[in-house]
A and B are shown apart, each in its own frame.
Chain A
Amino acid sequence: MTDQSLEGAPPIRAARLPLRGIALGVAALIALYVIPDALSNYWLRTFISAAALTIASLSVSVLFAQVGMVSLAQFGLLGVGGWFALRISHGLGVPFEIALLCAGVSAALVGLIVGLPALRMRGLYLAIITLMMAGAIQVLISAFGFPDGGPGILGKSTGARLMMARPLIAQSDEAYLRYAIVVTAVCYLLVLAHVRGRPGRAWAMIRRSEVCALAGGVDIVAYKVWAFALAGFLAGVAGAVLAGGVGQLDGSAFPASQSIMLFALTIVGGAYSWFGPIIAGLMLRAFPALLNDFRVDGNIATMVFGIGLLHALITAPHGIAGQLSDLTGRLRRALSGERKAGP
Protein backbone atom coordinates (compact mmCIF):
# COMPACT_ATOMS: atom_id res chain seq x y z
CA MET A 1 0.00 0.00 0.00
CA THR A 2 2.67 2.45 0.96
CA ASP A 3 4.60 1.27 -2.06
CA GLN A 4 1.82 2.36 -4.39
CA SER A 5 1.68 5.82 -2.97
CA LEU A 6 5.47 6.07 -3.19
CA GLU A 7 5.55 5.09 -6.82
CA GLY A 8 2.89 7.70 -7.45
CA ALA A 9 5.18 10.42 -6.15
CA PRO A 10 7.67 11.08 -8.97
CA PRO A 11 5.15 11.57 -11.83
CA ILE A 12 3.24 14.17 -9.81
CA ARG A 13 6.47 15.99 -9.18
CA ALA A 14 7.46 15.95 -12.83
CA ALA A 15 4.06 17.20 -13.88
CA ARG A 16 4.14 19.97 -11.33
CA LEU A 17 7.46 21.50 -12.33
CA PRO A 18 6.62 23.17 -15.65
CA LEU A 19 3.35 24.39 -14.17
CA ARG A 20 5.22 26.01 -11.35
CA GLY A 21 7.75 27.50 -13.76
CA ILE A 22 5.00 29.04 -15.88
CA ALA A 23 3.23 30.37 -12.80
CA LEU A 24 6.48 31.92 -11.60
CA GLY A 25 7.17 33.49 -14.98
CA VAL A 26 3.69 34.99 -15.20
CA ALA A 27 3.90 36.23 -11.62
CA ALA A 28 7.28 37.83 -12.36
CA LEU A 29 5.94 39.60 -15.45
CA ILE A 30 2.93 40.90 -13.55
CA ALA A 31 5.06 41.95 -10.61
CA LEU A 32 7.62 43.72 -12.78
CA TYR A 33 5.44 45.39 -15.40
CA VAL A 34 1.74 45.39 -14.74
CA ILE A 35 1.69 46.22 -11.03
CA PRO A 36 4.20 49.12 -10.94
CA ASP A 37 2.47 50.72 -13.94
CA ALA A 38 -0.96 50.64 -12.42
CA LEU A 39 -0.21 51.88 -8.93
CA SER A 40 -0.53 55.24 -7.26
CA ASN A 41 2.51 56.68 -5.51
CA TYR A 42 1.16 55.63 -2.15
CA TRP A 43 0.78 52.04 -3.25
CA LEU A 44 4.13 52.04 -5.03
CA ARG A 45 5.83 52.93 -1.75
CA THR A 46 3.74 50.40 0.11
CA PHE A 47 4.82 47.65 -2.23
CA ILE A 48 8.46 48.73 -2.02
CA SER A 49 8.25 48.26 1.73
CA ALA A 50 6.44 44.97 1.24
CA ALA A 51 9.30 43.75 -0.97
CA ALA A 52 11.83 44.72 1.71
CA LEU A 53 9.82 42.92 4.37
CA THR A 54 9.52 39.87 2.15
CA ILE A 55 13.33 39.68 2.24
CA ALA A 56 13.23 40.18 6.01
CA SER A 57 10.69 37.39 6.41
CA LEU A 58 12.83 35.19 4.18
CA SER A 59 15.65 35.72 6.64
CA VAL A 60 13.46 34.55 9.53
CA SER A 61 12.29 31.54 7.57
CA VAL A 62 15.85 30.47 6.68
CA LEU A 63 16.62 30.16 10.38
CA PHE A 64 13.29 28.71 11.40
CA ALA A 65 12.36 26.37 8.58
CA GLN A 66 15.84 25.25 7.56
CA VAL A 67 17.70 24.95 10.85
CA GLY A 68 14.85 25.01 13.37
CA MET A 69 16.14 28.11 15.18
CA VAL A 70 14.06 31.02 16.42
CA SER A 71 15.54 34.49 16.09
CA LEU A 72 13.54 37.45 17.38
CA ALA A 73 16.24 39.92 16.38
CA GLN A 74 15.82 40.01 12.60
CA PHE A 75 13.89 43.29 12.41
CA GLY A 76 16.58 44.88 14.53
CA LEU A 77 19.10 43.66 11.95
CA LEU A 78 17.02 45.42 9.32
CA GLY A 79 17.76 48.58 11.26
CA VAL A 80 21.47 47.73 11.36
CA GLY A 81 21.51 47.21 7.59
CA GLY A 82 19.59 50.42 7.06
CA TRP A 83 22.01 52.35 9.27
CA PHE A 84 25.09 51.17 7.40
CA ALA A 85 23.44 51.68 4.02
CA LEU A 86 22.61 55.30 4.91
CA ARG A 87 25.99 55.92 6.49
CA ILE A 88 27.95 54.59 3.55
CA SER A 89 25.73 56.13 0.93
CA HIS A 90 25.80 59.61 2.49
CA GLY A 91 29.40 59.44 3.66
CA LEU A 92 31.10 58.02 0.60
CA GLY A 93 28.58 58.73 -2.12
CA VAL A 94 29.03 55.21 -3.49
CA PRO A 95 26.53 53.64 -5.89
CA PHE A 96 23.43 52.14 -4.28
CA GLU A 97 24.52 48.58 -5.05
CA ILE A 98 27.66 48.97 -2.95
CA ALA A 99 25.70 50.45 -0.05
CA LEU A 100 23.31 47.52 -0.39
CA LEU A 101 26.10 44.95 -0.19
CA CYS A 102 27.81 46.73 2.71
CA ALA A 103 24.50 46.81 4.56
CA GLY A 104 24.15 43.07 4.03
CA VAL A 105 27.68 42.32 5.15
CA SER A 106 27.54 44.48 8.27
CA ALA A 107 24.17 43.06 9.33
CA ALA A 108 25.62 39.59 8.69
CA LEU A 109 28.44 40.36 11.14
CA VAL A 110 26.00 41.64 13.75
CA GLY A 111 23.79 38.63 12.98
CA LEU A 112 26.75 36.42 13.78
CA ILE A 113 26.98 37.97 17.23
CA VAL A 114 23.25 37.50 17.68
CA GLY A 115 23.72 33.88 16.68
CA LEU A 116 26.54 33.09 19.08
CA PRO A 117 24.15 32.14 21.90
CA ALA A 118 22.54 29.72 19.46
CA LEU A 119 25.60 27.55 19.77
CA ARG A 120 24.70 26.91 23.39
CA MET A 121 20.98 27.57 23.60
CA ARG A 122 17.85 26.27 22.02
CA GLY A 123 14.14 26.93 21.83
CA LEU A 124 12.68 29.41 24.27
CA TYR A 125 16.04 30.46 25.70
CA LEU A 126 17.38 31.29 22.27
CA ALA A 127 14.20 33.23 21.48
CA ILE A 128 14.55 35.28 24.65
CA ILE A 129 18.22 36.05 24.21
CA THR A 130 17.76 37.12 20.58
CA LEU A 131 14.88 39.31 21.72
CA MET A 132 17.23 40.95 24.19
CA MET A 133 19.66 41.60 21.33
CA ALA A 134 16.78 43.21 19.41
CA GLY A 135 16.18 45.36 22.48
CA ALA A 136 19.84 46.39 22.57
CA ILE A 137 19.74 47.34 18.88
CA GLN A 138 16.55 49.31 19.53
CA VAL A 139 18.24 51.27 22.32
CA LEU A 140 21.28 52.07 20.16
CA ILE A 141 19.21 53.12 17.17
CA SER A 142 16.82 55.32 19.10
CA ALA A 143 19.74 56.92 20.95
CA PHE A 144 21.86 57.70 17.90
CA GLY A 145 19.27 57.83 15.13
CA PHE A 146 19.95 57.17 11.46
CA PRO A 147 22.54 59.07 9.40
CA ASP A 148 20.97 61.71 7.19
CA GLY A 149 23.82 63.44 5.49
CA GLY A 150 25.56 65.10 8.41
CA PRO A 151 29.27 64.90 9.32
CA GLY A 152 30.99 62.62 11.82
CA ILE A 153 30.62 58.95 12.51
CA LEU A 154 26.92 59.22 13.34
CA GLY A 155 26.21 61.32 10.28
CA LYS A 156 23.43 63.34 11.91
CA SER A 157 22.76 66.62 10.15
CA THR A 158 21.55 69.63 12.06
CA GLY A 159 19.82 71.21 9.11
CA ALA A 160 17.79 69.63 6.37
CA ARG A 161 17.77 65.82 6.25
CA LEU A 162 19.17 64.36 3.06
CA MET A 163 17.57 61.50 1.16
CA MET A 164 19.52 58.36 0.37
CA ALA A 165 20.59 58.17 -3.27
CA ARG A 166 18.64 55.57 -5.19
CA PRO A 167 20.20 53.33 -7.85
CA LEU A 168 20.97 55.18 -11.09
CA ILE A 169 18.66 52.90 -13.04
CA ALA A 170 15.80 53.23 -10.56
CA GLN A 171 15.22 56.85 -9.64
CA SER A 172 11.42 56.94 -9.85
CA ASP A 173 9.20 55.05 -7.42
CA GLU A 174 7.99 52.86 -10.23
CA ALA A 175 11.49 51.88 -11.32
CA TYR A 176 12.58 51.44 -7.73
CA LEU A 177 9.74 49.00 -7.07
CA ARG A 178 10.93 46.94 -10.05
CA TYR A 179 14.44 47.17 -8.68
CA ALA A 180 13.28 46.00 -5.23
CA ILE A 181 11.45 43.06 -6.75
CA VAL A 182 14.59 42.03 -8.65
CA VAL A 183 16.65 42.30 -5.44
CA THR A 184 14.05 40.13 -3.69
CA ALA A 185 14.31 37.55 -6.46
CA VAL A 186 18.12 37.54 -6.18
CA CYS A 187 17.78 36.96 -2.43
CA TYR A 188 15.47 34.03 -3.11
CA LEU A 189 18.04 32.57 -5.50
CA LEU A 190 20.76 32.98 -2.90
CA VAL A 191 18.66 31.08 -0.37
CA LEU A 192 17.74 28.45 -2.94
CA ALA A 193 21.40 27.87 -3.75
CA HIS A 194 22.05 27.27 -0.08
CA VAL A 195 19.07 25.02 0.49
CA ARG A 196 19.80 22.85 -2.54
CA GLY A 197 23.49 22.61 -1.70
CA ARG A 198 25.72 21.41 1.07
CA PRO A 199 24.53 23.93 3.70
CA GLY A 200 20.90 22.93 3.13
CA ARG A 201 21.67 19.26 3.67
CA ALA A 202 23.70 20.00 6.80
CA TRP A 203 20.90 22.25 8.13
CA ALA A 204 18.35 19.50 7.51
CA MET A 205 20.48 17.07 9.51
CA ILE A 206 20.79 19.57 12.36
CA ARG A 207 17.04 20.11 12.32
CA ARG A 208 16.47 16.35 12.49
CA SER A 209 18.62 16.19 15.61
CA GLU A 210 22.08 17.23 16.68
CA VAL A 211 22.93 13.61 17.31
CA CYS A 212 22.06 12.78 13.72
CA ALA A 213 24.14 15.71 12.45
CA LEU A 214 27.20 14.90 14.56
CA ALA A 215 27.13 11.24 13.59
CA GLY A 216 26.94 12.35 9.97
CA GLY A 217 30.05 14.46 10.39
CA VAL A 218 28.31 17.86 10.26
CA ASP A 219 30.20 20.69 11.93
CA ILE A 220 27.15 22.00 13.79
CA VAL A 221 28.81 25.19 15.06
CA ALA A 222 29.98 26.25 11.62
CA TYR A 223 26.65 25.62 9.92
CA LYS A 224 24.61 27.35 12.63
CA VAL A 225 26.91 30.35 12.46
CA TRP A 226 26.62 30.36 8.68
CA ALA A 227 22.81 30.27 8.90
CA PHE A 228 22.81 33.29 11.20
CA ALA A 229 25.23 35.12 8.93
CA LEU A 230 23.10 34.43 5.85
CA ALA A 231 19.94 35.48 7.69
CA GLY A 232 21.71 38.62 8.90
CA PHE A 233 22.84 39.40 5.35
CA LEU A 234 19.27 39.13 4.07
CA ALA A 235 17.95 41.33 6.87
CA GLY A 236 20.65 43.91 6.10
CA VAL A 237 19.77 43.92 2.41
CA ALA A 238 16.11 44.35 3.38
CA GLY A 239 17.08 47.32 5.53
CA ALA A 240 18.95 48.93 2.64
CA VAL A 241 16.05 48.38 0.24
CA LEU A 242 13.76 50.01 2.81
CA ALA A 243 16.15 52.92 3.29
CA GLY A 244 16.43 53.46 -0.46
CA GLY A 245 12.66 53.33 -0.80
CA VAL A 246 11.83 55.86 1.86
CA GLY A 247 15.02 57.89 1.48
CA GLN A 248 15.61 58.05 5.22
CA LEU A 249 14.78 55.95 8.25
CA ASP A 250 13.12 56.86 11.50
CA GLY A 251 14.97 56.03 14.71
CA SER A 252 11.77 54.91 16.40
CA ALA A 253 10.77 52.50 13.63
CA PHE A 254 12.82 49.51 14.79
CA PRO A 255 11.48 48.47 18.18
CA ALA A 256 12.00 44.92 19.40
CA SER A 257 8.26 44.35 19.14
CA GLN A 258 8.55 44.61 15.36
CA SER A 259 10.93 41.65 15.42
CA ILE A 260 8.29 39.59 17.19
CA MET A 261 5.69 40.75 14.68
CA LEU A 262 7.99 39.76 11.81
CA PHE A 263 8.52 36.32 13.29
CA ALA A 264 4.82 35.81 14.00
CA LEU A 265 3.76 36.82 10.50
CA THR A 266 6.43 34.60 8.96
CA ILE A 267 4.78 31.70 10.76
CA VAL A 268 1.32 32.88 9.71
CA GLY A 269 2.46 33.30 6.09
CA GLY A 270 4.17 29.93 6.08
CA ALA A 271 7.86 29.63 6.84
CA TYR A 272 8.20 26.28 5.07
CA SER A 273 7.07 27.53 1.68
CA TRP A 274 8.79 29.89 -0.77
CA PHE A 275 5.51 31.75 -1.00
CA GLY A 276 5.20 32.31 2.74
CA PRO A 277 7.60 35.27 3.07
CA ILE A 278 5.78 37.06 0.23
CA ILE A 279 2.51 36.66 2.10
CA ALA A 280 4.20 37.87 5.27
CA GLY A 281 5.67 40.91 3.50
CA LEU A 282 2.28 41.82 2.04
CA MET A 283 0.54 41.35 5.36
CA LEU A 284 3.05 43.49 7.20
CA ARG A 285 2.82 46.44 4.82
CA ALA A 286 0.08 46.11 2.22
CA PHE A 287 -2.64 44.94 4.58
CA PRO A 288 -2.44 47.92 6.96
CA ALA A 289 -2.28 50.20 3.93
CA LEU A 290 -5.40 48.57 2.55
CA LEU A 291 -7.22 49.13 5.83
CA ASN A 292 -6.02 52.72 5.71
CA ASP A 293 -7.47 53.07 2.22
CA PHE A 294 -10.85 52.05 3.57
CA ARG A 295 -10.38 54.39 6.50
CA VAL A 296 -10.31 51.55 9.03
CA ASP A 297 -8.08 51.92 12.07
CA GLY A 298 -4.68 50.39 11.28
CA ASN A 299 -4.55 48.79 14.71
CA ILE A 300 -7.22 46.38 13.53
CA ALA A 301 -4.39 44.81 11.52
CA THR A 302 -2.58 43.87 14.72
CA MET A 303 -5.69 42.16 16.00
CA VAL A 304 -6.16 40.28 12.74
CA PHE A 305 -2.50 39.19 12.91
CA GLY A 306 -3.00 37.89 16.43
CA ILE A 307 -5.99 35.86 15.31
CA GLY A 308 -3.99 34.63 12.32
CA LEU A 309 -1.15 33.53 14.59
CA LEU A 310 -3.50 31.63 16.87
CA HIS A 311 -5.04 30.02 13.81
CA ALA A 312 -1.60 29.08 12.50
CA LEU A 313 -0.44 27.68 15.82
CA ILE A 314 -3.59 25.66 16.38
CA THR A 315 -4.62 24.39 12.98
CA ALA A 316 -2.13 25.34 10.27
CA PRO A 317 1.51 24.88 11.28
CA HIS A 318 2.54 25.44 7.68
CA GLY A 319 0.79 28.80 7.52
CA ILE A 320 -1.26 30.35 4.76
CA ALA A 321 1.20 29.19 2.10
CA GLY A 322 0.78 25.62 3.34
CA GLN A 323 -2.99 25.94 3.14
CA LEU A 324 -2.80 27.42 -0.36
CA SER A 325 -0.63 24.55 -1.57
CA ASP A 326 -3.02 22.07 0.06
CA LEU A 327 -5.82 23.78 -1.81
CA THR A 328 -4.05 23.77 -5.19
CA GLY A 329 -3.07 20.15 -4.55
CA ARG A 330 -6.71 19.27 -3.97
CA LEU A 331 -7.79 21.22 -7.07
CA ARG A 332 -5.12 19.53 -9.18
CA ARG A 333 -6.19 16.12 -7.93
CA ALA A 334 -9.82 16.96 -8.64
CA LEU A 335 -8.94 18.15 -12.16
CA SER A 336 -6.76 15.19 -12.99
CA GLY A 337 -9.48 12.93 -11.56
CA GLU A 338 -11.95 14.48 -13.97
CA ARG A 339 -9.54 14.13 -16.87
CA LYS A 340 -9.04 10.46 -16.09
CA ALA A 341 -12.78 9.95 -15.76
CA GLY A 342 -13.57 11.96 -18.91
CA PRO A 343 -12.26 10.07 -21.97
Chain B
Amino acid sequence: MIEIDDLTVQFGGVRGLSELTARLPEPVTGLVGPNGAGKTTLINVLSGFVRPTTGRVGIDGQDLSDIAIHKRAAFGIRRTFQNEQVVENLTAADNIHAILDNVPTDGQPRAALIAQALEFVGLAAKGNVLGRDLNAYQRRMLEIARAMVGRPRLIMMDEPGAGLAQHESEHLRDVIRQLHGHCGAQVLLVDHDVDLISATCTATLVLDFGSAIAYGATASVLAEPKVRAAYLGVLEDAT
Protein backbone atom coordinates (compact mmCIF):
# COMPACT_ATOMS: atom_id res chain seq x y z
CA MET B 1 0.00 0.00 0.00
CA ILE B 2 1.19 3.52 -0.85
CA GLU B 3 0.67 5.98 2.00
CA ILE B 4 0.82 9.69 1.24
CA ASP B 5 0.40 12.11 4.15
CA ASP B 6 -0.03 15.84 3.77
CA LEU B 7 2.54 15.93 0.99
CA THR B 8 3.59 19.31 -0.35
CA VAL B 9 6.35 19.89 -2.90
CA GLN B 10 7.35 23.44 -3.66
CA PHE B 11 9.56 24.28 -6.67
CA GLY B 12 10.43 27.91 -6.01
CA GLY B 13 7.16 29.67 -6.66
CA VAL B 14 5.48 26.66 -8.26
CA ARG B 15 3.61 24.03 -6.27
CA GLY B 16 4.19 20.58 -7.70
CA LEU B 17 2.04 18.93 -5.04
CA SER B 18 -0.19 20.60 -2.49
CA GLU B 19 -1.15 18.97 0.81
CA LEU B 20 -1.84 15.65 -0.86
CA THR B 21 -3.10 12.84 1.38
CA ALA B 22 -4.04 9.44 0.01
CA ARG B 23 -4.04 5.70 0.71
CA LEU B 24 -3.59 3.55 -2.38
CA PRO B 25 -4.06 -0.14 -1.53
CA GLU B 26 -5.20 -1.55 -4.90
CA PRO B 27 -2.81 -3.82 -6.85
CA VAL B 28 -3.10 -1.66 -9.97
CA THR B 29 -3.84 2.01 -9.41
CA GLY B 30 -4.24 4.69 -12.05
CA LEU B 31 -2.90 8.21 -11.57
CA VAL B 32 -4.38 10.75 -13.94
CA GLY B 33 -4.69 14.49 -14.26
CA PRO B 34 -4.04 17.27 -16.75
CA ASN B 35 -0.53 18.37 -17.76
CA GLY B 36 1.35 19.84 -14.82
CA ALA B 37 -1.02 18.27 -12.27
CA GLY B 38 1.89 16.76 -10.34
CA LYS B 39 1.82 13.12 -11.45
CA THR B 40 5.51 12.88 -12.30
CA THR B 41 6.31 14.86 -9.17
CA LEU B 42 4.54 12.25 -7.03
CA ILE B 43 6.51 9.48 -8.72
CA ASN B 44 9.70 11.45 -8.19
CA VAL B 45 8.96 11.82 -4.48
CA LEU B 46 8.35 8.09 -4.15
CA SER B 47 11.59 7.27 -6.00
CA GLY B 48 13.49 9.88 -4.00
CA PHE B 49 14.50 12.34 -6.73
CA VAL B 50 12.39 15.10 -5.24
CA ARG B 51 12.40 15.83 -1.51
CA PRO B 52 9.03 16.73 -0.04
CA THR B 53 8.80 20.25 1.34
CA THR B 54 6.45 18.93 4.01
CA GLY B 55 4.66 15.65 4.58
CA ARG B 56 5.77 12.06 4.09
CA VAL B 57 5.34 9.06 1.86
CA GLY B 58 5.50 5.43 2.89
CA ILE B 59 5.08 1.95 1.50
CA ASP B 60 3.62 -0.94 3.48
CA GLY B 61 4.12 1.00 6.71
CA GLN B 62 7.77 1.87 5.97
CA ASP B 63 8.56 5.60 5.91
CA LEU B 64 10.56 6.23 2.72
CA SER B 65 12.46 9.25 4.00
CA ASP B 66 14.76 6.82 5.86
CA ILE B 67 15.83 5.11 2.65
CA ALA B 68 18.60 6.65 0.49
CA ILE B 69 17.70 7.15 -3.17
CA HIS B 70 19.99 4.47 -4.53
CA LYS B 71 18.79 1.96 -1.94
CA ARG B 72 15.15 2.31 -2.98
CA ALA B 73 15.54 -0.05 -5.93
CA ALA B 74 16.68 -2.81 -3.60
CA PHE B 75 13.85 -1.95 -1.20
CA GLY B 76 11.50 -2.57 -4.11
CA ILE B 77 10.60 0.82 -5.51
CA ARG B 78 10.99 0.68 -9.27
CA ARG B 79 9.93 2.86 -12.13
CA THR B 80 9.93 3.66 -15.80
CA PHE B 81 10.49 7.17 -17.09
CA GLN B 82 8.42 9.62 -19.07
CA ASN B 83 11.59 10.11 -21.16
CA GLU B 84 12.77 6.55 -21.66
CA GLN B 85 16.10 5.68 -19.99
CA VAL B 86 17.31 2.53 -21.72
CA VAL B 87 21.12 2.24 -21.71
CA GLU B 88 22.11 2.41 -25.34
CA ASN B 89 25.50 0.74 -25.17
CA LEU B 90 24.31 -2.28 -23.18
CA THR B 91 22.36 -5.16 -24.67
CA ALA B 92 18.75 -5.65 -23.62
CA ALA B 93 19.85 -8.51 -21.38
CA ASP B 94 22.63 -6.43 -19.80
CA ASN B 95 20.18 -3.58 -19.22
CA ILE B 96 18.30 -5.96 -16.93
CA HIS B 97 21.51 -7.45 -15.54
CA ALA B 98 22.59 -3.94 -14.50
CA ILE B 99 19.52 -3.76 -12.25
CA LEU B 100 19.91 -7.30 -10.95
CA ASP B 101 23.37 -6.29 -9.75
CA ASN B 102 21.70 -4.08 -7.16
CA VAL B 103 18.53 -5.85 -6.12
CA PRO B 104 17.79 -9.10 -4.24
CA THR B 105 17.72 -12.14 -6.50
CA ASP B 106 16.76 -14.75 -3.89
CA GLY B 107 19.62 -16.93 -5.07
CA GLN B 108 18.08 -17.57 -8.47
CA PRO B 109 20.46 -17.63 -11.45
CA ARG B 110 20.56 -14.24 -13.12
CA ALA B 111 20.45 -15.59 -16.63
CA ALA B 112 17.14 -17.29 -15.85
CA LEU B 113 15.67 -14.14 -14.29
CA ILE B 114 16.73 -12.08 -17.30
CA ALA B 115 15.30 -14.58 -19.77
CA GLN B 116 12.03 -14.69 -17.81
CA ALA B 117 11.66 -10.91 -17.76
CA LEU B 118 12.47 -10.57 -21.46
CA GLU B 119 9.99 -13.32 -22.27
CA PHE B 120 7.30 -11.65 -20.16
CA VAL B 121 7.51 -8.34 -22.00
CA GLY B 122 7.84 -9.99 -25.41
CA LEU B 123 11.51 -9.29 -26.04
CA ALA B 124 12.72 -12.88 -25.79
CA ALA B 125 14.44 -12.65 -29.19
CA LYS B 126 16.12 -9.33 -28.45
CA GLY B 127 18.35 -10.24 -25.50
CA ASN B 128 21.58 -9.66 -27.44
CA VAL B 129 20.44 -6.50 -29.19
CA LEU B 130 22.04 -3.26 -28.04
CA GLY B 131 19.76 -0.68 -26.45
CA ARG B 132 20.52 1.77 -29.23
CA ASP B 133 19.10 -0.64 -31.81
CA LEU B 134 15.75 -1.04 -30.08
CA ASN B 135 12.76 0.96 -31.29
CA ALA B 136 10.67 3.20 -29.04
CA TYR B 137 8.18 0.48 -28.22
CA GLN B 138 10.84 -2.13 -27.43
CA ARG B 139 12.56 0.39 -25.18
CA ARG B 140 9.36 0.93 -23.21
CA MET B 141 8.95 -2.80 -22.79
CA LEU B 142 12.60 -3.17 -21.75
CA GLU B 143 12.08 -0.51 -19.08
CA ILE B 144 9.20 -2.55 -17.72
CA ALA B 145 11.37 -5.67 -17.75
CA ARG B 146 14.05 -3.79 -15.79
CA ALA B 147 11.47 -2.68 -13.24
CA MET B 148 10.02 -6.12 -12.60
CA VAL B 149 13.09 -8.17 -11.69
CA GLY B 150 14.29 -8.82 -8.16
CA ARG B 151 11.40 -8.65 -5.72
CA PRO B 152 9.75 -5.30 -6.58
CA ARG B 153 7.08 -3.92 -4.22
CA LEU B 154 5.96 -0.96 -6.28
CA ILE B 155 6.35 -0.43 -10.01
CA MET B 156 5.55 3.08 -11.20
CA MET B 157 5.10 3.72 -14.89
CA ASP B 158 5.16 7.26 -16.21
CA GLU B 159 3.14 7.40 -19.43
CA PRO B 160 4.29 4.07 -20.88
CA GLY B 161 1.61 4.27 -23.56
CA ALA B 162 2.66 7.62 -25.03
CA GLY B 163 3.31 7.43 -28.76
CA LEU B 164 2.58 3.73 -29.22
CA ALA B 165 0.75 2.28 -32.20
CA GLN B 166 -2.59 0.52 -31.73
CA HIS B 167 -1.32 -3.09 -31.57
CA GLU B 168 1.57 -2.01 -29.37
CA SER B 169 -0.83 -0.39 -26.86
CA GLU B 170 -2.82 -3.60 -26.78
CA HIS B 171 0.27 -5.61 -25.95
CA LEU B 172 1.24 -3.06 -23.30
CA ARG B 173 -2.22 -3.37 -21.81
CA ASP B 174 -1.87 -7.16 -21.54
CA VAL B 175 1.54 -6.84 -19.94
CA ILE B 176 0.33 -4.33 -17.33
CA ARG B 177 -2.68 -6.51 -16.53
CA GLN B 178 -0.49 -9.53 -15.84
CA LEU B 179 2.32 -7.65 -14.12
CA HIS B 180 0.96 -7.76 -10.56
CA GLY B 181 0.13 -11.46 -10.78
CA HIS B 182 3.53 -12.20 -12.28
CA CYS B 183 5.84 -10.42 -9.84
CA GLY B 184 3.58 -9.45 -6.95
CA ALA B 185 4.35 -5.75 -7.11
CA GLN B 186 1.77 -3.02 -6.74
CA VAL B 187 1.52 -1.02 -9.97
CA LEU B 188 1.03 2.73 -10.19
CA LEU B 189 0.19 3.76 -13.73
CA VAL B 190 0.32 7.33 -15.01
CA ASP B 191 -1.17 7.84 -18.44
CA HIS B 192 -3.31 10.23 -20.41
CA ASP B 193 -4.94 7.34 -22.26
CA VAL B 194 -8.25 6.83 -20.45
CA ASP B 195 -8.85 3.56 -22.27
CA LEU B 196 -5.59 2.14 -20.98
CA ILE B 197 -6.37 3.29 -17.43
CA SER B 198 -9.92 1.91 -17.55
CA ALA B 199 -8.74 -1.40 -18.93
CA THR B 200 -6.00 -1.99 -16.37
CA CYS B 201 -6.63 -0.08 -13.13
CA THR B 202 -9.11 -1.13 -10.46
CA ALA B 203 -8.83 2.23 -8.69
CA THR B 204 -7.76 5.65 -9.87
CA LEU B 205 -6.48 8.81 -8.20
CA VAL B 206 -7.12 12.08 -10.00
CA LEU B 207 -4.79 15.02 -9.41
CA ASP B 208 -5.35 18.62 -10.37
CA PHE B 209 -3.05 21.49 -9.37
CA GLY B 210 -1.17 19.14 -7.06
CA SER B 211 -4.18 18.03 -5.03
CA ALA B 212 -6.39 14.96 -5.16
CA ILE B 213 -9.78 15.80 -6.60
CA ALA B 214 -11.11 12.25 -6.70
CA TYR B 215 -10.22 8.69 -5.74
CA GLY B 216 -12.19 5.48 -6.11
CA ALA B 217 -13.12 2.71 -8.52
CA THR B 218 -11.85 3.71 -11.95
CA ALA B 219 -15.13 3.77 -13.86
CA SER B 220 -17.01 5.82 -11.28
CA VAL B 221 -14.12 8.26 -10.75
CA LEU B 222 -13.72 8.93 -14.45
CA ALA B 223 -17.47 9.57 -14.68
CA GLU B 224 -17.51 12.25 -11.97
CA PRO B 225 -18.36 15.71 -13.31
CA LYS B 226 -15.47 17.52 -11.62
CA VAL B 227 -13.01 15.00 -13.06
CA ARG B 228 -14.44 15.46 -16.51
CA ALA B 229 -14.25 19.22 -16.07
CA ALA B 230 -10.61 19.14 -14.99
CA TYR B 231 -9.54 16.45 -17.37
CA LEU B 232 -11.56 16.18 -20.52
CA GLY B 233 -10.62 19.61 -21.82
CA VAL B 234 -7.03 18.43 -21.93
CA LEU B 235 -7.99 15.15 -23.49
CA GLU B 236 -9.67 16.94 -26.35
CA ASP B 237 -6.50 18.94 -26.90
CA ALA B 238 -4.32 15.87 -26.78
CA THR B 239 -6.30 13.73 -29.20
Contact = CB atoms under 8 A, between A and B. Distances in A.
B84 to A, nearest CB: 10
Given A6-B126, A216-B102, A216-B146, A204 B48 contact: no
B97 A216 contact: no
Contacts of A10: 128
B48 A209 contact: no
Contacts of B129: 6, 9
A120 interface: no
B39 interface: no
B71 interface: yes
B174 interface: no
Given A6-B133, A214-B69, A218-B70, A208 B103 contact: no
Interface in B80-136: 81, 85-90, 94, 97-99, 101-103, 125-126, 128-129, 133-135
B128 A215 contact: no
Interface string A58-98: 00000000000000000000000000000000000000000
Nearest to A206: B87
Interface string A192-209: 000000100110110111
A5 interface: yes
A218 B79 CA distance: 14
Interface residues of B, number: 33
Contacts of A30: none
B89 to A, nearest CB: 6
Contacts of B86: 208
Contacts of A6: 126, 129, 133-134
A119 interface: no
Given A201-B101, A202-B98, A215 B73 contact: yes
B193 to A, nearest CB: 23
B78 A202 contact: no
A146 B85 CA distance: 48
A9 B128 contact: yes
A64 to B, nearest CB: 13
A215 B85 contact: yes
Interface string A206-224: 0111011111111110000
A214 B49 contact: yes
Given A201-B98, A202-B101, A215 B90 contact: no
B47 interface: yes
B81 A217 contact: no
Interface of B: 47-49, 69-74, 78-79, 81, 85-90, 94, 97-99, 101-103, 125-126, 128-129, 133-135, 146
